[in-house]
Structure 1
Amino acid sequence: MTTAAPARTSRRAVLIPLSGLLMALFVAILSSTIVSNALPRIIGELGGTQAQYTWVVTASLLAMTASTPIWGKLADLFSKKLLVQLAIGVFIVGSMLAGLSTSTPMLIGFRVLQGLGMGGLTALAQVVIAAIIPPRERGRYSGYLGAIMAVATVGGPLIGGVIVDTIGWRWCFYVTVPIAVVALVVLQRTLTVPTEKREVHIDYLGALLIAGGVSALLIWTSLGGKNFAWVSWASLAWLAVGIVALVLAVLVESRAKEPVIPLQLFRNRTVALATVAGLFVGVAMFGSSVFLSQFFQLARGASATEAGLLTLPMIAALFLASTVVGQLISRTGKWKVYLVGGGVSLVAGLLMQGLVMSADAPYWELAVAMALVGLGVGATQQNLVLAVQNQVALRDMGAASSTVAFFRSLGGAAGVAALGALLSSHVSAAITSGLTAVGIPASATSSSSGQIPNVATLPEPIRSVVENAYGDSVALMFLVAAPLALVALIAILFLREVPLRDTIDLEASAPAASETAEPASLVTGTVRDGKRPAVGAVLTLVDRTGHQLARATADDEGRYRLPVEDDVAPHLLIAQYRGTPHVEMLAGTVGAQRRDLRLGEELTGRHALDATTEAMSAVTR
């Protein structure tokens, strides 16, 4: 039984449909940040309040976060192409209606609809790529995906600022529609994704509990300290609802036939650690883009367009890290070193931002700090998903990919809400104390009551106080974010690197992980490098003529399983690990066998020469 090598995917066949995916993902992510610089004018024209200001951003992030795992699970059950088209359609409708809004509550409602489409595109883009490209090749394309997400996230405020200053805030919503329509047409004509036909069981109760629990906690985080005190009955009620819903969700998911988030995924060390890291990378990714723009406008007196331009060091670093790291991973098959480097850069960048940010700090210091954050996010966000996809079977690819994206979005939404609450309370206190120190009553400006000021219209003494208050408050926010990024780095350090496989599905490269019916005969065992499991070692079984019988990859515990036909007698077992082959001669008998390998214990004499010659001949066949 010879395992055929997987055919490599044509680059042209991937790039054409990928361009449609990238366009759709770009406008989806862009829509979550493009309103940052437009919000003051939007809220002013629609007559909104300070609380509604926050909800224009939070509503779409909340809907995106809550719907992401549901879209991912649907991708494991239904046509991935159809779901991508549906997500784009929902996004287009939401965008058009948001641009036509005549009141702030109406705008918030349509932003929820936009968020549902954004959640689908964020999850499904990862799933579609995983369904058509093996992990070893996927690094290159994931780099493109990460670059698009990064530029859309951080470049949104710049694009929004230019639109607001030129053609009006409603075009912040309309501008995404033509691109989304083109993406829909491209995907309809070029995308072909295999769909596994199996019995469909949708876990409606689990989906409802997950969405409800996450929404309740995000509402609690967003409104706490503003609409109600942190220690109050309203606060405790929102918190209790969120926790109870998520506890019930875990119970339901553990019993569901087709759970939205398969809990067994978290038994895999890579999935669990990558999820934790993604959660805290999300805080840095969204927090930096939203609050940097506010810093440059309110602490440095920049216009909306200028604020976007001043964040270019972060945009450039994100784009560079995403594309270059993706290429390097595809060439080498190694990914952990880039994740660790990205984690270190992210922590250093956030810490530097917290230490140097002020109303009068030299711009070059701010640029260096922003570039470090950009490099960190660009090197980590997509490659955490890649590490997870390399460890799960194709049938669970949607759930696994969307789970990491879900926790990244959850970190972003919670980070924006919590850091925004910290910023608001610290700014109010700082402005009040600053005005008092110079002998000006706090009532001289509405800024002390939490309203966002128009810095350009303030008289000089008050303007200096407000700018310093925002500069110091945003710096504090990044200092708080730095330890969270450190948690992500620690999780990355504990990831165990498994070489990227060359096949679409896990079973094709690692029969040991398959849960299909047992083959007639097996050669099983473990392979260790000293005292440690030789994770990712490639085991090849050959017969006396040198023909390959089976091949598998050792799992996280160093275990392998090689299926053999009943009437075939295996002769050699070859373990390749880090470029060095280890050869063992088997008994040559038919039937199940167990062989535990310890690398470095080689055969000796003429048998070693014969075995090695046969092994190398088999490997090169």
Structure 2
Amino acid sequence: MTWFSLILFRGLQGLGAAGILPVVQTIIGDIYSPAERAKMQGWFSSVWGLSALLGPLVGGVIVDHFSWRWLFYINLPLGALALVMLHIYFDEKVADRQASVDYTGSAFLVFGISAFMLGLLEGGSRFAWTSPPILGLFACAAILGVLFIRQEYRHDDPILPPDLFRNRTIFTANLAQLFLGGVLYSATVYLPLWAQGVQGFSATRSGASLLWLSIGWPLASAIGGRVILQVGQRPAAILGLIFTTAGAAALLILDHRVAGIPEAGFGIVTFCIGSGMGFATLSFMLGVQSAVGWEQRGVATASLQFIRTLGGLIWVAIMGAVMNLTLASELQKMPKLGILNMSQAASFANNLLDPDIWARMTPDDLTMARSALADSLRQVHWVTLLCSVIALLITLKLPNRMYSFDLASRASESTPVP
């Protein structure tokens, strides 16, 4: 197994997973009325949230006790079972329509995002922020972004139809998701790093640091469907973002520099973040699906997933740059470690995840190094809090919609909602 083949096949796996999620949610949107959809999407989101966020826990156990290759093997029987069930139980009759894939727009988008993220990752480490390579990457990202927007207006079947975002519900929900993705990715990427690098947990216990987040998300999603039926989509989304904001703020209150923080307190914090994600993402999904007719529901649903993932990738790159910059500054105060730049700081942070490295460090050096990592992660949590607050403020502008069980709700599915 080489790094190239690992990246290649992991990318192929990601393409399949990226297509499955919005398609399944679109199917739910098509076969249920808005009120029924609230309950079904709630159950679906709860299953997805539980599965997605239990992954780090199961993955940690597999890595600790088996080979990392089993992270891929375990998907084979599960995928085969899902394929058989889909073939047996799902049958649809739709008219085929010729559509052209926007390959040019896809290329502009992929290379533009890649250039932007590469600039964030390399800036301040291999190259100075004002160096020609970094400025060139950011300029390239900006140019490709403009070309992507232009291409979307010109193509018959754009990836993200510009007309779709003239709808206030869709625009507001997607804009909030752009920042909410940062909250989600921050939790799944940097909380395990804190647990393993600062607290000294094993890979299994590091994955378990997200356990309460994985409990809060599906629980809130299951309850959220009924809450939305009672109060509408906007109050439910606001409630969720209040939870995520409270959780992000609480992370700053915890003293990360002290090992042995009670796991109960940390569990409450992550439970708040998970519960907020459950309420908010379900509300946005129902709002977007109810704002369009069936012929646009697929692309509207996919846009929501895409924007959240895009936001997560961008914000994780920004958080990584902030963490490495702070960590390098802190570690330079420890001359014995020989840390001179962000690249070396990032490598040192990875070393703090290895128990063998801990054993070769003196207790004082290990304590100082963990304290430096904790201080850098605190800056990451400030960015996480900022993302959550901005998403909350945006959601205040989300149009509210009430859902009820009636025949009219089914009839309205054939026409877009303005």
Question: Considering the TM-score relative to the shorter chain, is it more than 0.5?
Answer: yes
More contact order relative to length (CA 8 Å, sep ≥ 6)? 2
Work out the CA distance in 2 between the residues paired with 1:321 and 1:340.
13
Q: Displacement, 1:382?
A: 2.8
Is 1:205 matched with 2:108? no
Is 1:500 matched with 2:403? yes
Work out the CA distance in 2 between the residues paired with 1:505 and 1:491.
30
Contact kept in structure 1, 2:190 and 2:377, CA below 8 Å:
yes
Contact kept in structure 2, 1:355 and 1:475, CA below 8 Å:
no
Q: Displacement, 1:378?
A: 1.4
Is 1:450 matched with 2:350? no
Q: Displacement, 1:227?
A: 4.1
Residue correspondence of structure 1 range 594-605 to structure 2 within 5 A = none
Q: Displacement, 1:357?
A: 4.3
Structure 2 vs 1, CA of residues 444 and 290 (structure 1 numbering), >3 Å: closer, same or farther?
closer
1:18-77 CA distance string (max 9 Å, x none): xxxxxxxxxxxxxxxxxxxxxxxxxxxxxxxxxxxxxxxxxxxxxxxxxxxxxxxxxxxx
Is 1:430 matched with 2:330? yes
Work out the CA distance in 2 between the residues paired with 1:194 and 1:429.
61
- Secondary structure of residue in 2 paired with 1:480: helix
The one of 240, 250, 253 aligned to 1:355: 253
Is 1:405 matched with 2:300? no
Contact kept in structure 2, 1:132 and 1:504, CA below 8 Å:
no
Is 1:483 matched with 2:400? no
Residue 268 of structure 2 corresponds to: 368
Work out the CA distance in 2 between the residues paired with 1:510 and 1:468.
56
Q: Displacement, 1:308?
A: 1.9
Contact kept in structure 2, 1:502 and 1:509, CA below 8 Å:
no
Hey, which of these two has a bigger chunk of helix by percent? 2
Q: Displacement, 1:510?
A: 7.2
Structure 2 vs 1, CA of residues 351 and 444 (structure 1 numbering), >3 Å: closer, same or farther?
closer
Q: Displacement, 1:501?
A: 6.9
- Secondary structure of residue in 2 paired with 1:195: coil
1:483-518 CA distance string (max 9 Å, x none): 11111111111111122376999993178x56xxxx
The one of 4, 7, 31 aligned to 1:132: 31
- Secondary structure of residue in 1 paired with 2:187: helix
The one of 164, 182, 195 aligned to 2:63: 164
- Secondary structure of residue in 2 paired with 1:290: helix
Contact kept in structure 2, 1:317 and 1:372, CA below 8 Å:
yes
Work out the CA distance in 2 between the residues paired with 1:503 and 1:235.
57
Hey, which of these two has a bigger chunk of strand by percent? 1
Contact kept in structure 1, 2:249 and 2:385, CA below 8 Å:
yes
Structure 2 vs 1, CA of residues 507 and 305 (structure 1 numbering), >3 Å: closer, same or farther?
closer
- Secondary structure of residue in 2 paired with 1:307: helix
Is 1:192 matched with 2:91? yes
- Secondary structure of residue in 2 paired with 1:450: helix
Structure 1 gap ranges (5+): 1-101, 515-554, 557-621
Q: Give the CA RMSD over aligned residues.
A: 2.6
1:363-416 CA distance string (max 9 Å, x none): 333222212111111111232121111101111111111111111000111122
Contact kept in structure 2, 1:130 and 1:504, CA below 8 Å:
no
1:273-296 CA distance string (max 9 Å, x none): 000111111111111011111111
Is 1:378 matched with 2:378? no
Structure possessing the higher radius of gyration over alpha carbons: 1
Residue 19 of structure 1 corresponds to: none
Residue 197 of structure 2 corresponds to: 298
Is 1:181 matched with 2:76? no
Structure 2 vs 1, CA of residues 383 and 259 (structure 1 numbering), >3 Å: closer, same or farther?
same
Q: Displacement, 1:114?
A: 2.0
Q: Displacement, 1:352?
A: 1.2
- Secondary structure of residue in 1 paired with 2:332: helix
Work out the CA distance in 2 between the residues paired with 1:442 and 1:304.
25
Contact kept in structure 2, 1:338 and 1:379, CA below 8 Å:
yes
Contact kept in structure 1, 2:34 and 2:409, CA below 8 Å:
no
Work out the CA distance in 2 between the residues paired with 1:510 and 1:377.
27
Q: Displacement, 1:174?
A: 1.4
Structure 2 gap ranges (5+): none
Identity %: 28
Is 1:315 matched with 2:222? no
The one of 279, 282, 286 aligned to 2:178: 279
Supply the AA of the counterpart residue of 2:119: W
The one of 447, 462, 471 aligned to 2:365: 462
Q: How many residues align?
A: 408
Q: Displacement, 1:444?
A: 9.2
1:454-492 CA distance string (max 9 Å, x none): 353222011101221222222221111111111111111
Contact kept in structure 2, 1:153 and 1:286, CA below 8 Å:
no
Residue 229 of structure 1 corresponds to: 128
Relative to the length of structure 1, the TM-score reads: 0.61
- Secondary structure of residue in 1 paired with 2:324: helix
Is 1:107 matched with 2:10? no
Contact kept in structure 1, 2:56 and 2:208, CA below 8 Å:
no
Contact kept in structure 2, 1:222 and 1:421, CA below 8 Å:
yes
